[in-house]
Structure 1
Amino acid sequence: MWTLLPSSALRLTGTDRVDFVQGQMTNDLRGAPTPGMVACCFLNVRGQIEFFARAYKRKDDVYLHLDAGQSVGLAARLRRYIIFDQVEIGDVTEELGTVHVWGQDVSGWNPDGPDAQTFELSGGTVLAGRINRTGTPGVDLHFLTRYGEGVREALGGGETPLDELEELRVRAGIPDVVRDGFVGTLPQEVGLDVGGLLPVMSYRKGCYVGQEIMARLEARGNARYHLAGLEGDGLPAHAEVIREGKTVGQAGAHAGGLSLARLRKELAPGDRVEVGGVPATVGSLTPTPADV
């Protein structure tokens, strides 16, 4: 099965590209192999998420894969920090497409190989990454749009709707910063910490914007919220979660009677809450941690 992903993308070139983006992101791209890939966030000075990306480190560039509509904002942010760095930032959103493939083999992909691979598919070169979007790792394929028809033909079958992929993601308890509306939260509050469902952190990589707040949270372990599940029919997405008249969190995407949510840690499975006026029950997330 495969699904076309609404995406945007940046390509960083220049001799300082890795060191430059390393100083902006939460994860350790410098320590990744070449080719390699890490999930990461770009934070503000308060440690709150501004952007989520998957960063691919290649021989001649760094490729940042983002959700749709994110590349312009991240490019503007990165350019503000260029001083003497030898780095060029290009928006390649219109040139590239991305599909996620799961539950089937991909010609050219080595399941036992590294998390980032490059190979030929249907006459064009694709960049592929091992990504867990359903509870079981699949493959993101990034390709030039002019090869899109050939890539889809090589995969076979018909496209699985994005809504179906989203339902599998929510059921697996895998957060999505944009789709769940978690921009502006702390990574530790929404399952993105080390050991979380989608780790984007390195506490040993050196300084970056927001790093001081992350170090405090690591030392004190006092994030007041965490990623949790909500059960209920027709729960509105991105709405406040209310218990006994008080706001105790915010709901993310809703699919198949379930929502992911950023909730106060004192809430327990079985507690009753309201999401935008709709009754819901706090559930538990018990999946194994996701690959990036």
Structure 2
Amino acid sequence: MWTRIPSSSLRVTGADRVDFVQGQMTGDLRGAAVPSVVACAFLNVRGQIEQFARAYKRPDDIYLHLDEAQAAPLMARLKRYIIFDQVELQDTSDTLKTVHLWSPDSFAEQLAAGSAAQFEWAGGQVLAGRVNRAGKAGIDLHYLARHEAAVLAQLGEEKPLAELDAARIAAGIPDIARDGFEGTLLQEVGLDTGGPLPAISYRKGCYVGQEIMARLEARGNARYHLARVAGENLASHADIVQDGKTVGRTGLAVGGKALARLRREIAAGGALEVAGQSAVAELLTSDA
């Protein structure tokens, strides 16, 4: 099974590429092996998420895989920080495509768990990274758009994106762009070290927003965390209300369920309202 992933991407080259990107992202790129894939976020000075990305560290470049329409704003942000750095940025959104393989058994020999690899397949070069999008290890496969027909011909049954969304919501895996979680703290939406999609290192050194992250680490839990909310006709991207007070916001809703940024004090099973409809906090843990 496989699913098309709406994507955008950047390629970063130059002698200073690793140090430059390391100073912007929350994950530890410098400490990663080559090749490898590192989940990360790019924050503003208040520590809020601007973009989520998976950074592929390769021998000659860094490939930043982002959600759809995210490459242009990230490229503009990175350009502002280039001073004397020897780096070059290229938007590769139009030349590269991505699918997610739900069952990556055919790639077992080429790709060990938690790593990335580039190899010849279906008549061209492909880049593969093992990632968790649906509650278990799968593979994101990146390939040149001009090779798409040959690549897809080698795959099995296509599953629509809605089915992948339903699976990840059931597994508690956030999608920052599709869930509309930009502008939040990563500890609030499952991106902390103990969360379902860890995307931060507290030991990697300075980056934009790092001071806020250090304060949160020292203080402990944030006021919000990632939860799952259920309700008939549950609305996407809507405020969650309890006793007339807004206590959170839903992400993308599929099949009456959604992940949500929710106040920690809301008890599991507590009565809630979303867009005037009754709902319930189905799951409420610090790492779900």
TM-score, with length taken from structure 1: 0.95
The CA deviation string for residues 19-62 of structure 1, in whole angstroms up to 9 with x for no partner, is 00000000100000000111000000000000000000000000
Counterpart in 1 of 2:118? 118
The CA deviation string for residues 159-194 of structure 1, in whole angstroms up to 9 with x for no partner, is 211111111011110011111110000000011101
Check conservation: 2:13, 2:60, Cα contact below 8 A: yes
Instruction: Report deviation, 1:110.
Output: 3.1
Distance 1:104 1:115, change over 3 A: closer
Taking the aligned partners of 1:100 and 1:114, their CA distance within structure 2 comes to 15
Taking the aligned partners of 1:259 and 1:6, their CA distance within structure 2 comes to 20
The amino acid of 1:69's aligned partner reads A
- Consecutive unaligned residues of structure 1, counting only runs of 5 or more, are none
The amino acid of 1:230's aligned partner reads V
Taking the aligned partners of 1:138 and 1:171, their CA distance within structure 2 comes to 16
Distance 1:116 1:107, change over 3 A: closer
The CA deviation string for residues 213-242 of structure 1, in whole angstroms up to 9 with x for no partner, is 000000011410000010112111111100
Counterpart in 2 of 1:180? 179
Whether 2:45 is the aligned partner of 1:11: answer no
Taking the aligned partners of 2:235 and 2:44, their CA distance within structure 1 comes to 28
Alignment of 1:79-228 (within 5 A): 79-107=79-107, 110-112=110-112, 115-157=115-157, 159-228=158-227
Whether 2:246 is the aligned partner of 1:247: answer yes
SS in 2 for 1:143: strand
Instruction: Report deviation, 1:102.
Output: 1.0
TM-score, with length taken from structure 2: 0.97
Instruction: Report deviation, 1:103.
Output: 2.3
Taking the aligned partners of 2:14 and 2:239, their CA distance within structure 1 comes to 44
Taking the aligned partners of 1:286 and 1:217, their CA distance within structure 2 comes to 18
More displaced, 117-126 or 80-89? 117-126
Instruction: Report deviation, 1:156.
Output: 2.9
Matched pairs, number: 288
Instruction: Report deviation, 1:151.
Output: 0.7
Taking the aligned partners of 1:285 and 1:124, their CA distance within structure 2 comes to 45
Distance 1:104 1:211, change over 3 A: closer
The amino acid of 1:224's aligned partner reads R
Check conservation: 2:98, 2:142, Cα contact below 8 A: yes
Taking the aligned partners of 2:269 and 2:114, their CA distance within structure 1 comes to 41
Check conservation: 1:172, 1:287, Cα contact below 8 A: no
The amino acid of 1:197's aligned partner reads P
Check conservation: 2:111, 2:117, Cα contact below 8 A: no
Output the aligned Cα RMSD: 1.6
Instruction: Report deviation, 1:284.
Output: 1.2
Consecutive aligned runs of 4 or more in structure 1 exceeding 2 Å deviation: 103-114, 285-289
Taking the aligned partners of 1:131 and 1:286, their CA distance within structure 2 comes to 22
Taking the aligned partners of 2:104 and 2:200, their CA distance within structure 1 comes to 30
Whether 2:236 is the aligned partner of 1:237: answer yes
Taking the aligned partners of 2:207 and 2:61, their CA distance within structure 1 comes to 20
Whether 2:277 is the aligned partner of 1:278: answer yes
SS in 1 for 2:105: coil
Taking the aligned partners of 1:69 and 1:236, their CA distance within structure 2 comes to 23
Distance 1:216 1:142, change over 3 A: same
Identical pairs, percent = 61
SS in 1 for 2:140: strand
